[in-house]
Amino acid sequence: MLKARILKSGFRAAWTHKVRAIFMMLSIMIGIASLTVVISLGKGTEEKIMTQVQKFFSSNTIMVVSGGGRVAPNRPVAITGNLKIADVEEIAEQIGNILMWDAVQHLSGKEAQANGNNTLVDISGQTPAAEGVFNLAVTEGRFYSEKENRNLARVAVITPHVREKLFGNENPVGQMIKIDNVPFQVIGTIGPRGLDPHGTDKDNEILIPLNTVMRRVANLEYVMFVKYLVRDEQRINETAEQIKSMLREKHSINATEEDDFMVITPVRVKELIANASKTFNLYLPLLAFVSLFVGGIVVINLMLISVSERTKEIGLRKAVGAQSKDITMQFLIEAASITIISGLTGIVVGILLLTQITKFMNMPFSISWGAVFMCSIISAVVGIAAGYFPAKKAAGLIPVESLR
Amino acid sequence: MISVAKLYKTYRKENGTPVNAVNNVTLQIEQGVFAAIVGPSGSGKSSLMNILGLLDVPDSGSYLFNGKEVSTMNIDELADIRNKKIGFVFQQFHLLPNISAKDNVELPLIYSNKIDISGLAEKALIQVGLGDRINHTSAELSGGQQQRVAIARALVNDPDIILADEPTGNLDSASGSEIMNIFKQLHSKGKTIILITHDTKNTSCAQKIVKIVDGTIITDK
């Protein structure tokens, strides 16, 4: 009964000084709201990346990318050409665990014209195996054949955005399309695939046979990357090692030199994502923590000022019978009630902000309930810590001195 | 009820000079007595009241409250006695701003062990004639009304003693008379009243008058 009365008294006293309470609330609320947003955004971003990556990088995938450790000075990775198609084929033939593969050469920002319309597109030169390796869904017409790839046929398979921009509602199959003024025949269309892990719009691509791209369009000897699918996922790391040693041998890389290619396995992808997510999952929450820490200091300061301002009140409470522990409890309740309410408000504000941010950034809405739980605990701890020192100071005051 | 012997209390001024605020005071106040402690400003009467009201502790001497030695009690035991046995009325009223008269009066009840406190504050406010000002904040009350709220606060826990330190010091004479009438009524109902005052007009109803100068009792009648 006695404690309930003190609890009520402390809670009421907290809101008697409204301006001070509002400042205390703001300082904690901002910290908690930013923590909620940042941690949840981090989780959402990671989930988004993971979903995208899983779409393009299934668990039986090994990707070999041209370039890597031994990149020539001042040359970007993509230009470092050293992955020959012959090597890629030989690896697939010799390593029994490889089920199928596709090699890709990518050219961005090419002009495509058809039907009196033109647009900028990306060209993806891929082998006919792309249909299976990348799980492409042909919606109209057909995908190109091995014969067409071998004969450097000028055939193209287009994606939804290209189709929409160049052909509108017309059926594109059988129509001609000019890519950098070279005519190609549209033989098929594929369904939507969205963005790839790099953020490239896969629905703004034109797929043409790899050999056609390498010999007729770009005159290149090397591919950008190869995607191998393995039969036995359990042996994926072993297979990756085999690919690595074969390529090192073919590229005459000695033991002291680094690879001039990069072999990426699902495990490595997860590592890369974890590394990339560090900013979101470690540094930004750290910043939010600093903001919360500053908020805590503001609350301690305001509570200390409150104790100084209310010395007479403390003296009076003691005069009418408040014991030291009652005064301690009163100030603790004041600080804790403000910080806990601010914390909960911060969580609500954070969630509201998150809905807007994710909407604006076109990200999946995802709340880290762990973060919300952590924020609730933090706000309670900050409240108790912020109230403790002022409460001790208040409790130690001698009634007669406080009343003077 | 109250029996002090050879009490001493020395303060130091800011320049370090010692001031003997209470100097070898020996005094008895029986239950139900209306006592007045009088003396000029700076005579040490408020220091004596703070010790008698257990708001301060003497440097030396003995203090028996209801037969129990209180000078050796810890601060929480003293707080408990103040809550149950003593009601304070101060010259500056010491009401908490921003809260109602009722909430101010309820303050001692927050720290009491009484299980049911409902209606007690209202009853005390009615007793001092403020039944129609229960929900007013102190800013909405006159000086005399504020002091009556303070008296209601002193009464609410039904203490044995009311200790009033210059209760009319901040009031006009009409309000001062009203406040003194309330003390007379309380005394007639059996409360022990200890009134600290420099105004001899207020001592007319006192049964015991203690005159103090420079911390020392010079008359005790």
Q: Does any CB of chain A come closer than 8 Å to the CB of residue B110? A: yes
Name the closest residue on chain B to residue A316, using Cα atoms. Answer: B94
Q: What percent of chain B has pLDDT over 90?
A: 49
Predicted pLDDT of residue A197: 67
Taking an 8 Å cut-off on Cβ atoms, the answer to whether A312 and B94 are in contact is yes
Band (A80; pLDDT cuts 50, 70, 90): low
Question: Per mean pLDDT, which of A177-186, A333-342, A385-394 is the most reliable?
Answer: A177-186
pLDDT > 80? residue A14: no
Angle at A17 between CA A13 and CA A19, to 5 degrees: 145
Q: Which amino acid makes up residue A217?
A: V
Cβ-based contacts of A395 with chain B (< 8 Å): none
Predicted pLDDT of residue A1: 56
Taking an 8 Å cut-off on Cβ atoms, the answer to whether A399 and B107 are in contact is no
Burial environment of residue B114 by CB neighbours within 10 A (0 to 12, 13 to 18, 19 or more): middle
Q: Does any CB of chain A come closer than 8 Å to the CB of residue B73? A: no
- Strand residue runs (E) in A164-267: 176-179, 182-190, 205-209, 225-230, 261-264
Q: What is the ipTM of this complex?
A: 0.92
Q: Does any CB of chain B come closer than 8 Å to the CB of residue A320? A: yes
Q: Does any CB of chain A come closer than 8 Å to the CB of residue B158? A: no
Q: Which residue has the higher pLDDT, A238 or A277?
A: A238
Q: Does any CB of chain A come closer than 8 Å to the CB of residue B94? A: yes
Q: Report the CATH superfamily, name and number, of domain B2-220.
A: P-loop containing nucleotide triphosphate hydrolases (3.40.50.300)
For residue A291, what is the enclosing H or E element? helix A284-309
**pLDDT per position as a tens digit, A117-145:** 999 999 999 999 999 998 899 999 999 99
**pLDDT per position as a tens digit, B154-178:** 989 889 999 999 888 888 888 888 8
Predicted pLDDT of residue A81: 65
Q: Taking residues A235-245, report their average pLDDT.
A: 91
Name the closest residue on chain A to residue B155, using Cα atoms. Answer: A320
Q: Which residue has the higher pLDDT, A231 or A401?
A: A231
pLDDT > 60? residue A327: yes
Per the prediction, chain A carries an average pLDDT of 84
Angle at A286 between CA A282 and CA A292, to 5 degrees: 150
**pLDDT per position as a tens digit, A356-383:** 988 888 777 778 788 778 877 877 787 7
One-character DSSP codes across B79-140? HHHHHHHEEEE-TT--PPTTSBHHHHHHHHHHTS--S--TTHHHHHHHHTT-TT-TT-BGGG
Q: Which residue has the higher pLDDT, A97 or A335?
A: A97
Nearest-neighbour CA in chain B from A305: distance (Å): 17
Band (A286; pLDDT cuts 50, 70, 90): confident
Q: Which residue has the higher pLDDT, B18 or A288?
A: B18
Distance CA A125, CA B82 (A): 92
- The answer for B 128-157 residues in CB contact with A (under 8 A) is 153, 157
Distance CA B69, CA B57 (A): 12
Q: Which residues pair with B161 in a beta bridge?
A: B86, B192
